[in-house]
Structures are given as C-alpha cells and as structure tokens.
Amino acid sequence: MAKTISKVREIEVAAVAGNMTLAAGIDRSAVERCKDAIEKLGVIHTPVVGATQGGSRLLLSGQCELTALRELGVRKMEAIEVGVANDAGVMAKLSLLLISLKEKPGALCEGLLLKEAVGAGVPRLEIQSMLGKSASWVSNRISLVTRLDANVYEMVKGGLLDPRSAEEVARLPAESQFAFAEAAVREGLAKSAIESLVGCYNDETCPDAVRSQILSDPRSALRRAADRRRAVDADSQDRRKGKVPPHNVEGCIKTLREHIAKLCHMLPYVPPHESADCGIALDGLDAELLALLAAVRKFTRVKWG
C-alpha cells in the first residue's frame, strides 16, 4: 500500500496569529487579488501554521491568504500544521524554507503566459488589473518572447537552456542568439557569465573580433573581458587615490613601435608546432589593436577636429 503523508488540518482562522514579518511584504492590492481568487477558486496556496506545545498557533507561510480569509469572514480554513518548539530561530528557519520553495516564474515564462492570454482575446487592461502590473511591464514581458529566436526557444523547451539564461540571450541581435546559445550550453556557462558576455557584445565599443569570439569561444572571451575589467578597476582606484599615471604618450608610442618591429621580424619564423598558441594570442592582440586604433582616431578627431 502506498504511503500517504498529510499534515492538513481544519483550523479556526481566529486561532492563528498573523506573522508581522510576512505581512510587511504584501500590499492592499495583493490581498484584494487573493480574495478574488479565493471566491472563484478557493484557497490555492495552503497556509502553513506552526503549533507550539503550549497550544498557540503562529503563521509560517500564507499571510496574504490568512488576511483575505479573515476579511471574507471565513471561520475555518484548511492549513498544514507542523509542530514547532517555542523557539523563534526554529520558526524563522521554517519560514525561510517555505519562501524558498515558492514557485516564482521567470520573465520568459511570464511572457509566454501573457502572450497566450492576449492571443486568446483577454484585454491588456484586464491583465494589468488582475496582476497589479503596469502597461509597460506587460509589454516588456511579451516583447521578450517575441525577440527570442525560435531555435533558442526550442532549446529552452528541451531543457538544454534554462529560462533565466534565455532572457539574457534574448538581448542579443536575433541573428546571433542561436550561435551564442549553442556555445554557452556547450561550455556550460552560468547565467552570470552569459549576462556579462551579452553586455559586452551589445557594447557599442566592442570590436567585431571580440564579438566573433563571444559567439565561437565564449569562455576565452569571458577571460579577456575579466582581464580588461580588472585593468579598468585598477585605473579607477588609482584615480580615486590621486595616483594618476603619467601621460608619457610619446614614450608608450616609442615602446609600441619597437615591439611591433620585433613581432614583424619574428612571426615569419615561428615553428609550426608553436603556431596554434601564437594564433590564439594574436587573435586577442587583433582585438586590442582595433580598440587602440579606435581610441587614437577618437583622440585625433577631438584634438584636430
């Protein structure tokens, strides 16, 4: 016989002490929406109540539902009752656990549901009122779905790409999304890494060579972006501390020319077994030289008009 676990009990609504901490996280509109849902469908999310040995009951989860039930005049409710010691720390940990278990749909999931509702003829004003959201919020969520490449969406449906990462991928130009998503999945990139690379790709100053590397070899591009970020941070710290580096532009140009001459002399004689490593290094140098060229052109335009 299958084992059944149930802690649902019928409890007097008035016997449950509300949770002031949880109450701070809800507003009037949330209570009104909850009341509307209860009248139409019943209690969707069963409240969780902690019962102490002394017989008192404290709400651990479901403050919005408890408030709505009280305002609707409901005398008894079904709740999950768990025995707790008279220990504030134990009850606080239980509340945190329950919050972590609540299903929170991401922006992509919300956009798909909104698109289905609008497609089925539900007026946007009604959707805004029902969710307590603005017109721009609804439009932004739907826009996210329409921007996402169809192949990337199939990757999400197939479980290859998580929805939160897909939200970041959708910020890329449509023609670049699938190639980047495939590379990100292949390299096992975290959402934070995907977010960083997408931001770099969309940066107007990002050289084409770097954009190409982001699509083909995102992990290497991520390391390069991290190196550049550290250099920028170090420069910012120096400036805050008054350690502005000397503007020895002429000296830098002289050194650069010497190194360029050495490279031009050495490259034709690189042994075949070292060419692969050199090629990777030169790919990075190519992007950095393009960035330098852009900075030089910008300086000369400002200086000489």
* Mean of pLDDT values over 266-290: 73
Which residue, 57, 62, 54, 47, is CA-closest to 15?
57
Query: Within 42-87, where are the H helices?
Result: 63-71
pLDDT of 181 reads: 94
On the question of pLDDT at 285 being above 70, the answer is: yes
pLDDT band at 245 (very low <50, low <70, confident <90, very high): low
Q: What is the DSSP letter of 80?
A: E
Q: Which residues pair with 11 in a beta bridge?
A: 77
Q: Give residue-wise pLDDT tens across range 92-137.
A: 777 777 776 666 667 787 888 888 888 888 899 988 888 888 899 8
79 by DSSP, 3-state: which?
strand
Which of the four pLDDT bands, split at 50, 70 and 90, describes residue 180?
very high
Contacts of 31 (CB under 8 A, 6+ apart): 64, 67, 68, 71
Q: Which domains does the chain have, with CATH numbers?
A: 8-101 (3.90.1530.10), 163-239 (no CATH), 246-304 (no CATH)
Per-residue pLDDT tens for 74-91? Answer: 999 999 988 877 666 767
